[in-house]
Amino acid sequence: MQWSEGERNVREAIQVILATEPRERTLLPEFGAGLSRYLFEPNTVTTRHQIAEQISRSLAEWEPRIAVESVSVDADPQDARAATATITYKLVATGARERLGLNITLAG
């Protein structure tokens, strides 16, 4: 078994936060971004703004090793029922800037 470390570990932690639903972890029920709540929401500017805010809040709360610089959520030009989130952050320890993309399925 191999553990990730450094920038890779931070990226994996971000992905875990964004993929986890509140109440999914028994010992830490408030953990997670809860993005599945947007699954049946319309793919509108308002919904995408709410998703961006939720991502920002969740990462600020659960990942102290980063400083989120920006979160943008845009409609996926290939799929009317999807959005793409782009998260730009800086690693607190090194100052290195990183970017992470995430696809989010919506109702359309």
C-alpha to C-alpha distance for 105 and 25, rounded to whole angstroms: 23
C-alpha to C-alpha distance for 92 and 66, rounded to whole angstroms: 5
pLDDT in tens, 27-72: 999 999 999 999 999 999 999 999 999 999 999 999 999 999 999 9
pLDDT higher than threshold 70 for residue 5:
no
Query: Among 95, 77, 69, 74, which residue's Cα sits nearest to residue 85?
Result: 74
CA 63 remoteness from chain centre = 11
Other residues' Cβ atoms within 10 Å of the Cβ of residue 35: 20
What is the reported pTM?
0.90
